[in-house]
Amino acid sequence: MDSLKKSFSFILRNRTGKIWVALTAIAALFEGFVPFILVWITKSIFDLVAKALRTSQSDLYLHAIWMLLLFVLINLLAAAIRFMNEFYTQKTQSRLDHDLEYLLIKKVANDPISNFDIPDYHNHFSRLQGSVGNKIILPVQNIFATLKQTISCVTFICYLTTIHWSLVLLAIVSCIPLIVMQFKLVRVRFFTNLYQTPLFREINYLKYLLTARENVKEIRIFGLANHLLNKWSEKYLNRASEILKVQTKQTMLKLGVEINSALIYLLATSTLLLMTRANFITFSIGDFFAIIQSVQNLQHSFNELNSIFSKIYESNMYVSDFQNFMKNDQEKSTQRDIKTLSQPLTKGIVVDKLSFSYGQGKTPVLENVSFEIKPGEKVAIVGANGSGKTTLIKCLIGLYPVSYGSIYINGIDINEISKADLRKNITVIFQDFIKYHFSIRENIAIGNVDAISNLDEISRVSQLTGIHEYINVLPDQYETKLGNVLTEGIDLSGGQWQKIALSRALFSDGQIIVLDEPTSSMDPLAELDIFNSFEALVSEKTAIFISHRLAVSRIADKILVMKAGRLVEQGTHEELMKKEKEYYSMFMAQAKWYEKDKSGVA
């Protein structure tokens, strides 16, 4: 019932939906009576013609023609209503497809990032793909279809009861085995889909590995195509065979319906003939036709009702699935988001005893981390692979909720700052930043889309990151399209892409700038340039950057040294070198490498 209400509320949101509901209701009422009316008219025509043949009364023929005309008119009217209804069904469905897909995408785009680490979340989302509008419309459509078939059943039952009750009983009893089978089949269909979703996603993933541009190089180099293709094929065929099993059951059910109809026809006709022979009832040729047609129609309506009920059950399961997905985590992301950050920051960032793990019960990735960053300070985070540097910045920028300990930005608990404000004030460029297949101008302006037309500023930040000279000599300069998947564009080297990403970060308005290995793909000279002018680049912003090249961390006001999820040291380069501990060992190990180079031994 709840699902039906939800479907109605989605459909009635706009005018097209309202017209569709009204038309479907009219169509259901009209079409509910039409089968019996048509049977009745045909019976009358048979009787009129039979009488005309017997008595030779010419006006009976005329009467029969009028009845025939009425028959045609009703059929035409039914067709017109059906046509209008179909037109509005498509219109409503297409509108709903857009609106619901919009809601789904919006929800996913705003969901906590931690959801993306949960396979079930992806399975759930993947299950909801396809024509969402059609699936939401179905419960309402089925309700009106029930109304139509109920009217049809009632009219035929009333008519047949006037002949003999056994005819009604015959039609009802014959449907019972099919009803049970149909319900079982619906459950099998829904749960097959449910359990097959992970497999379906795996098949799509393998297809993506084999066909996406970004994978092509590695797949060729390792000669992986056959291996992956075989894997894809095995899983594809597995899934196809499961689906085929359900389809076979469905076909058997249809066969059952056909056999059932034939048997009922046989039984009804024989019963009628036996009753007539025993002088149990008497009727005209028109009656005979009408009774046989009524039994068949009644049985057809029962089968339809049965199939509609199971569809209602199935479509309700889909709507609940949709509702559950839309409900999840919505509250969490908005619950306490109430405060905003002032400009400029006066208190900086305070991290107090922060511990974090990806999911409940999982091993902590950060443990008891505490430090402070003053406004305008430049901070480097260093440490071995997997020591928790990226995770720390993900928590710092509010991508993952803080479960143990606290993070304060400008004195406000991060959980209480509005997400929108957090995004506005903090700019982040991750190692795996997005390479948008848009123009260079858009790629940079994504840092602050409101200023997309400010070409002067776009060009200024590009000069700072050293990519301007390259762009300036391109035929279309900042309008040059990047990537060549969508249109014929140019591709950039890893370092050039990184300069674009860095320009994007500088173009943003954020007071805090976070860079995860911002120069890892750049050549040593470009990197040196960036860090020599780092002060000018980030000016008075608070800057946090991760780097594996410790020579770079020297420019920082403070260095945080991470090891296995713990903050083991913090201080300036000089302070940490004096301590001769973790940072010192790492720095010396890297320095040695360069010394050897210099002496020519390496």
Ligand X SMILES: Nc1ncnc2c1ncn2[C@@H]1O[C@H](COP(=O)(O)OP(=O)(O)OP(=O)(O)O)[C@@H](O)[C@H]1O
Pick from 133, 139, 388, 466 the residue near ligand X by CB under 6 A.
388
Q: Are 514 and 545 in contact (CB under 8 A)?
A: yes
Q: How far is the CB of 388 from ligand X (least distance, A)?
A: 4
Which listed range, 203-211, 339-347, 368-376, 389-397, lies at the site for ligand X (CB under 6 A)? 389-397
Q: What is the total count of residues that contact ligand X (CB under 6 A)?
A: 11
147/27 Cα distance (integer angstroms): 10
HEC readout, 534-579? HHHHHCCCEEEEECCCHHHHCCCCEEEEEECCEEEEEECHHHHHHH
Q: How far is the CB of 116 from ligand X (least distance, A)?
A: 8
Pick from 177, 386, 411, 524 the residue near ligand X by CB under 6 A.
386
Which listed range, 88-96, 302-310, 381-389, 458-466, lies at the site for ligand X (CB under 6 A)? 381-389
Task: Quickly list H helices, 364-513.
Answer: 389-396, 419-425, 440-445, 455-465, 468-472, 494-507
Pick from 89, 155, 293, 387 the residue near ligand X by CB under 6 A.
387
Q: How far is the CB of 403 from ligand X (least distance, A)?
A: 14
Residue 385 interacts with ligand X (CB under 6 A): yes or no:
yes
| Structure tokens belonging to residue 123 | 């399975």
146/595 Cα distance (integer angstroms): 84
Compute CA distances 84 → 95, 130, 358, 405, 412, whole Å. 17, 25, 53, 62, 59
Number of H helices, E strands in the chain: 21, 10
Residues near 298 by beta carbon (within 8 Å), at least 6 away in sequence: 153, 156, 157, 160, 168, 171
Nearer to ligand X, 43 or 394 (CB): 394
Binding mask 338-367 for ligand X (x = CB under 6 A): --------------------x------x--
Phi-psi region of 454 (alpha: psi -120 to 50; beta: other; left: phi over 0): beta
Q: How far is the CB of 306 from ligand X (least distance, A)?
A: 48
Can you name the residues that pair with 482 across neighbouring β-strands? 490
Can you name the residues that pair with 331 across neighbouring β-strands? none
Which listed range, 14-22, 140-148, 326-334, 388-396, lies at the site for ligand X (CB under 6 A)? 388-396
159/287 Cα distance (integer angstroms): 11
95/103 Cα distance (integer angstroms): 12
| Structure tokens belonging to residue 301 | 């309506």
Residue 117 interacts with ligand X (CB under 6 A): yes or no:
yes
Q: How far is the CB of 113 from ligand X (least distance, A)?
A: 9
Nearer to ligand X, 365 or 513 (CB): 365
Q: How far is the CB of 544 from ligand X (least distance, A)?
A: 13
Nearer to ligand X, 309 or 358 (CB): 358
Pick from 127, 300, 389, 504 the residue near ligand X by CB under 6 A.
389
Nearer to ligand X, 283 or 358 (CB): 358
Residues near 509 by beta carbon (within 8 Å), at least 6 away in sequence: 424, 427, 448
Q: How far is the CB of 117 from ligand X (least distance, A)?
A: 4
Residue 590 interacts with ligand X (CB under 6 A): yes or no:
no
Pick from 17, 383, 466, 518 the residue near ligand X by CB under 6 A.
383
Q: How far is the CB of 225 from ligand X (least distance, A)?
A: 29
Nearer to ligand X, 44 or 391 (CB): 391
Q: How far is the CB of 545 from ligand X (least distance, A)?
A: 12
Pick from 89, 149, 391, 439 the residue near ligand X by CB under 6 A.
391
Nearer to ligand X, 399 or 455 (CB): 399
State which H helix or E strand residue 197 sits in: helix 165-211
143/309 Cα distance (integer angstroms): 9
Nearer to ligand X, 291 or 502 (CB): 502
Q: Are 354 and 383 in contact (CB under 8 A)?
A: no
Q: How far is the CB of 81 from ligand X (least distance, A)?
A: 55
Q: How far is the CB of 521 from ligand X (least distance, A)?
A: 14
Looking at residues 96 to 115 of the shown chain, list those that interact with ligand X (rule: CB under 6 A): none
Residues near 179 by beta carbon (within 8 Å), at least 6 away in sequence: 306, 309
Which listed range, 246-254, 330-338, 385-393, 489-497, lies at the site for ligand X (CB under 6 A)? 385-393
Give residues in contact with ligand X (CB under 6 A): 117, 358, 365, 383, 385-391
